[in-house]
Amino acid sequence: MIYLDYKDKRPIYEQVLDRFSDLIVKGVLAESEKMPSVRSLAMELSINPNTIQRAYQELERSGYIHSISGKGSFVSPKSEFIASKQAEVSAKLDAVMKEALDVGISTEYIHNILNKYHEEVKND
Amino acid sequence: MIYLDYKDKRPIYEQVLDRFSDLIVKGVLAESEKMPSVRSLAMELSINPNTIQRAYQELERSGYIHSISGKGSFVSPKSEFIASKQAEVSAKLDAVMKEALDVGISTEYIHNILNKYHEEVKND
Amino acid sequence: MIYLDYKDKRPIYEQVLDRFSDLIVKGVLAESEKMPSVRSLAMELSINPNTIQRAYQELERSGYIHSISGKGSFVSPKSEFIASKQAEVSAKLDAVMKEALDVGISTEYIHNILNKYHEEVKND
Amino acid sequence: MIYLDYKDKRPIYEQVLDRFSDLIVKGVLAESEKMPSVRSLAMELSINPNTIQRAYQELERSGYIHSISGKGSFVSPKSEFIASKQAEVSAKLDAVMKEALDVGISTEYIHNILNKYHEEVKND
DNA sequence: GTGGTCTAGACCACC
DNA sequence: GTGGTCTAGACCACG
């Protein structure tokens, strides 16, 4: 479920963070589902528990999960974070699209990329 | 023309790099135009010449400029870097679009963003 | 393993760079092996850590090694850099051969050099 | 006859130097032929006469030309420099060929390059 | 302890 | 004056 890429320049805690936020956004981890414990996940990935701890902290700060003392961490309901995530991605999309047109990438080309994914989504 | 954002966590040399690559891609800096000298720009931004030097080195590596020892640095012809820049942006576009669809942004919404810029480009 | 030639006019970082690329290409440094740390190597060679840092950066850019912040630098799998290295050497070979013929060195002489090494390779 | 490449990282005097040594080695400039005057060549290339002066000095040091006070510089007889040039190129050839084999370039490939030029030489 | 970034100041070759 | 290299020493985030 979680894996590390040691060639990735990003810090490990950030990789873990991104991976979980991805799994949650895509619904792979359902609402209220229990997250793996800090210790067990650290063991599984052979890394320092502090690193997992930090990832979980940031996930909680962003509203993806909430932790209950003595019980563990749990996936939060989607509505709590999905809006902010959409706003963030939307802004990024806007910027990148502007950049693409600036460097001479045609709108047709962009439409093609979009349609490619559109088909995939329909077929899911 | 160039400014620094000290709240930005990215290294200074990267900010300078990005800013120049932007100015060159958009044609604000014309081909063969002379870049500010390493020392003068460092002075202007109140940072160390080494930092500018590094930014210029990477700009050269990417084909944006070419430096001549003892003479200065100069903007390279567009053809020398435009292809790699397009590839880079294209990859970024692909990734962001995928992410957007993942978080539930509709293709219609994306089309709207695209059309908005499309109009602008046509009206330039 | 690494040594400097202060009579050599090439910059130190380039000497270090070339030496390591050689060791890696020839397999003296195995894949995934840990490189000496920036600081320790700088100490050993009595030069500034920044100089080693720069050499490592360029080794990484060329795909010879990959650096992980806080962990160290490691030799990359051969496949990641061998192609570019071959292209580089091939171009150099082409140029030198042309020059040799220009100054009147006979093709027979060149064939002899080649055969000399050919035998060695077969006997390895 | 002589041209400059401002994108070339080598100093200008070295470009001039190499270009002339090339022309002389290949016989384009015949023995005893008069070299362009320092001033006229500097003017033609729009560069500082000192730069040409330096190139000529090194050409003289290497035995390619000899200057006669008040008369100009003249191409020296071939025998005076051809041997040293051949030795130099031969050593370079040897090194590059070894490197090529080290990175896995086949002897057949090298033979092909060689034959390519061999044909050209025959057809000149 | 590791790599990554930055500063202040220096020297060099080139033009 | 210019870019290119190097030193000595510093601070940071990461694990």
- Check pLDDT > 80 for residue D122: no
Task: Give the per-residue pLDDT at D96.
Answer: 93
- Check pLDDT > 60 for residue C124: no
Task: Give the per-residue pLDDT at B79.
Answer: 87
Give all chains having 3 or more CB-to-CB distances under 8 Å with chain C. Answer: A, D
Confidence of residue A117 (pLDDT cuts 50, 70, 90): confident
> For residue C1, which of C76, C22, C12 has the smallest C-alpha distance?
C22
Please name the residue whose C-alpha is nearest to the C1' of nucleotide F14.
C70
Mean pLDDT of chain B: 91
Report the alpha-carbon angle C16-C21-C24, nearest 5: 125
pLDDT tens column, C46-77: 999 999 999 999 999 999 999 999 999 999 99
pLDDT tens column, C98-112: 889 888 889 999 999
Confidence of residue B37 (pLDDT cuts 50, 70, 90): very high
Return all residues near A85 (Cβ < 8 A) that are at least 6 apart: A21, A25, B103
Closest chain A C-alpha to B104 CA, distance in angstroms: 8
Of the candidates B25, B86, B114, which has its C-beta nearest A97's C-beta?
Answer: B114
Task: Give the per-residue pLDDT at B22.
Answer: 93
Q: What is the mean pLDDT of residues A77-81?
A: 85
What proportion of chain B, given as a percentage, has pLDDT over 90? 73
- Tell me the C-alpha distance between A47 and A19, whole Å: 16
Task: Give the per-residue pLDDT at C79.
Answer: 87
Question: In terms of CA atoms, which chain D residue is nearest residue B74?
Answer: D7
Confidence of residue C93 (pLDDT cuts 50, 70, 90): very high
Q: What is the mean pLDDT of residues B79-91?
A: 92
Q: Residue for token digits 């990005």?
A: B18
Q: What is the mean pLDDT of residues A25-38?
A: 93
Task: Give the per-residue pLDDT at C121.
Answer: 59
B28 vs A122, residue with greater confidence: B28
Mark yes or no for CB contact B69/D7 under 8 Å: no
pLDDT tens column, C9-55: 999 999 999 999 999 998 999 999 999 999 999 999 999 999 999 99
- Tell me the C-alpha distance between D91 and D84, whole Å: 11
> For residue A14, which of B66, A22, D86, D34 has the smallest C-alpha distance?
A22
User: Cα dist. D57→A23, D51, D65 in Å?
Assistant: 70, 10, 9
Mark yes or no for CB contact B69/D11 under 8 Å: yes
Confidence of residue D78 (pLDDT cuts 50, 70, 90): confident
- Check pLDDT > 60 for residue A4: yes
pLDDT tens column, D6-18: 889 999 999 999 9
Task: Give the per-residue pLDDT at A120.
Answer: 67
Task: Give the per-residue pLDDT at A82.
Answer: 87
Of the candidates B86, B90, B113, which has its C-beta nearest A93's C-beta?
Answer: B113
Task: Give the number of other Cβ atoms within 10 Å of residue B95's Cβ.
Answer: 12
Mean pLDDT of chain A: 90
User: Cα dist. B76→B17, B18, D12 in Å?
Assistant: 15, 16, 19
Mark yes or no for CB contact A6/C68 under 8 Å: yes
Mean pLDDT of chain C: 91
Mark yes or no for CB contact A11/C66 under 8 Å: no
Q: How far from chain centre, in Å, is Cα D48?
A: 21
| Chain A residues within an 8 Å CB radius of B98 | 117
Q: What is the mean pLDDT of residues A68-77?
A: 94
Give the 3-state secondary structure of residue D124: coil
Q: What is the mean pLDDT of residues D89-104?
A: 92
Enclosing H/E stretch for B75 = strand B72-75
Confidence of residue B1 (pLDDT cuts 50, 70, 90): confident
| Chain A residues within an 8 Å CB radius of C68 | 6-7, 9
Task: Determine what percent of chain C falls in helix, strand and coil, rounding each to the nearest 5.
Answer: 60, 5, 30
What is the SS3 string spanning C2-22?
A: CCCCCCCCCCHHHHHHHHHHH
- Check pLDDT > 70 for residue C120: no
Please name the residue whose C-alpha is nearest to the C1' of nucleotide E9.
B48
Please name the residue whose C-alpha is nearest to the C1' of nucleotide E3.
C69
Return all residues near A12 (Cβ < 8 A) that are at least 6 apart: A4, A47, A51
pLDDT tens column, B41-64: 999 999 999 999 999 999 999 999
Return all residues near B1 (Cβ < 8 A) that are at least 6 apart: B23
- C-beta of residue A22 within 8 angstroms of C-beta of residue A64: no
- Check pLDDT > 70 for residue D19: yes
Nucleotides of F under 7 A from a protein CB: 1-10, 13-15
- Tell me the C-alpha distance between A92 and B113, whole Å: 12
For C80-103, b where at least 16 C-beta lie within 10 A, e where not — what string? bbbeebbeebbeebbebbebbbbb
Report the alpha-carbon angle C57-B65-D8, nearest 5: 85
Q: What is the mean pLDDT of residues D53-58?
A: 95
Q: Which of residues 9-38 of B touch A (CB under 8 A)?
A: 25-26
Q: List residue ranges whose Cβ is under 7 angstroms from nucleic strand E.
A: A 9; B 11-14, 47-51, 54, 69-71; C 35, 37-40, 49-50, 53, 56-57, 60, 67-73; D 11-14, 47-48, 50-51
Confidence of residue D84 (pLDDT cuts 50, 70, 90): confident
Give all chains having 3 or more CB-to-CB distances under 8 Å with chain D. Answer: B, C
> For residue B116, which of D73, A110, D19, C39 has the smallest C-alpha distance?
A110
User: Cα dist. A65→A79, D25, D43 in Å?
Assistant: 12, 75, 74
> For residue D9, which of B70, B114, A112, A117 has the smallest C-alpha distance?
B70
Amino acid letter, C101: L
